[in-house]
Structure 1
Amino acid sequence: MTETPPPRRARAEIDLGALRANVRTLRARVAPHVQVMAVVKADAYGHGALRCARAALEAGATWIGTATPHEALALRAAGITDARILCWLWTPGDPWAEGIEAGLDMTVSGMWALREVVQAARETGKSARIQLKADTGLGRNGCQPADWPALVGEALKAQKDGLVTVTGLWSHFACADEPGHPSIASQLDVFRSMLDYAEKAGVEPEVRHIANSPATLTLPETHFDLVRPGIAMYGVSPSPEVGTPADFGLRPVMSLIGSVALVKEVPAGHGVSYGHHYVTPSETTLGLIPLGYADGVPRHASGRGPVLVGGRIRRVAGRVAMDQFVVDLGGDAVEPGAEAVLFGPGDRGEPTAEDWAQAADTIAYEIVTRIGARVPRVYVNE
């Protein structure tokens, strides 16, 4: 049931019905044997990790993915106990022992990490579930092909000693959002080669995976045993040049809505906001929107960011400030308290996160993820 949220300075409305539908759409794009990992890192791209993880599991995901172990441990503590959770961004001294006790699948990309997880296994007296990550060409986390034999060999020794179980082998694409990019085929070849080496050496992984959101949507040959949709789960296109969310059968999950705090008449030639980068060309009305870069509204979108107010698209007039920005209402009479919709699915003519991404010269991933904690999340269709 949808509940009408109370009036607020601002809210990020999270449509869990849309999220569940997106997960089902993604599930339908892969073969029946391929599992779906719902990636909820960075507080589910700003949408709320716990609520989104639960909704994704209800819709058919069987794994949860986080970046840091602390994100994963928080989900376990909050009651996500019936799903596998993979976390991949570890640093020396991180809570390996707690990860073992919580039953996490923990990524190992180098020898230092293997040494730390083995030591934690000895201390806890329990075997650690680990996944070995290969750097197939992205150049970030992951083990280089030249170092892969040594890492695989040491992991197998630790497994023989009962200290670890190697549950997965995986990697990540650099340019899957650019169909036809030569790095895609190159990375896939390297990944297959590294899989082949590990499996011939004796690794029997439960899952092999490399497909992120764009690969899940457009590269079926990359699906292996599991896919890891992140941004697509939230109804944002990972490849706007290829297709809109609707083209992929997805619906945006987040809407960012503010209330007009003040409306006033000003004369022609009136400066607006810091630096007077906008000066009113004629007598007009200005509307004050109580959201700013402290809330995640990108300052780079000053003068360009679109907002639906009073049934029309307005543009940010002048600079976005820390807590507020102004729109020129062009003389329209808008009452204080009226809705100002920064972005949403677009059904009502409102801008989308992609529109804001273009206005700020960034990607829609950043637009939704950067919405700050000062903006309450209101969940609908829960």
Structure 2
Amino acid sequence: MSARICVVTAGHLSTCPRMLKAADALDEAGYQVRVISTRHVAWAWEADQRARDRRSWPWRVVDYDRTSARLRQLATGARLRSAQAVAMAVGPARAPLGIGIRGYSRVHDELVAAIAAEPADLVYGGTTGALAAVAAGAHRLGARFALDLEDFHSAEQSGAGSVLAHRLAERIEAHVLPHAAFLTAGSPMIAEAYAAKYGVRPRAIHNTFPLNLHPPSVPDGPLKMYWFSQTLGPGRGLDDLVRGIGLANVRAELHLRARPLRTYAAQLAALAQSSAPLLELVLHDPAPPDRMIALAQGYHFGVSVEDGEVLNHRLCLGNKIFTYLAAGVPVLMTATPAQSRLAADLGQAAEVYENGSIDALARIVRRYADDPRARCVAANAARAAAERRWHWEHPEDRGALLQAVREAVG
């Protein structure tokens, strides 16, 4: 009988493509896979269901949505706030570990119960709120566990509450990471950061995606750029992008796919009107993960901007980059350490500028707006880079995950 593997995310199925790809890869490899995710955001739940319709593995949902599971939403929120208050009062380092875990993960207990509800030989999970739950659930089952560290969790937030969250993350990571059968990380620099901090050895598995084998599309007309995320809000580098396009003084389109925060969307539109009158802003609704590569086609650049103020932003290589490459679209990105290292490999498939350097950004925009041949060269380079290395089926990504699982389950 093939090994039984439980794949866990504390987020929505549609907002955690790493765990979705892992479940698919393990299912295709012949393992008995079941998946656990959560429900708490209406639009993401709709995308979850569309993603699930195309798959056959069993799926269990921990629901704490305010409309479909109001009592659980209230109860888990109260538990989270109470645990955080205790941790703040006595200090994150002195608080009992159980309090720290529940102050860090809203639905820890519910995830543990879902994991332990059915047998498994290996529990593999990622996202912030699942770290301790994966270990605890596996312990109840007498199974091994493995963790995916897509982000550097002890330095991934900013603003109110970030110090407490980071200190609790350190407590939890120090407790669970050394006991994992294996660890995966979202980028080489995140793997290096975990190795330096905890003495562990995560395998870097990039946020790559299956190739779209259609020839790259290089549309005529004004320069078309594309960006996507879960939320359209401040701190994403989009203000600088609008200013850079305005300084370039060229006709361009900037397509944004996300759930907009109303006040910010209005502010960005006002900025475009005043600073970049030749720019057309186009807003798109979020889409299921299985459609993201196709929806990224038909643009001259995909945009990946990180501000670099948060350490995790300097270390990560996000989904955007590899979505664009899989679609045959070159990448415009800020020069964080991780993105700069990748850009050296991508060559003509990437353009990099220092965060805040509006002049440098404007020069890039102007050059590609004026030179159709440069657009074609960049698009062909993007497709070549994806085919050579940057796709999910590569032995160092999908293959590395399958190898780690084989070693863990024997």
Normalising by the residue count of structure 1, what TM-score does the alignment of the two structures yield? 0.35
Q: Pick the structure with more helix per residue.
A: 2
- Identify the structure with bigger relative contact order (alpha carbons < 8 Å, sequence gap 6+): 1
Q: Pick the structure with more strand per residue.
A: 1
Normalising by the residue count of structure 2, what TM-score does the alignment of the two structures yield? 0.34
* Higher Cα Rg, which structure: 1
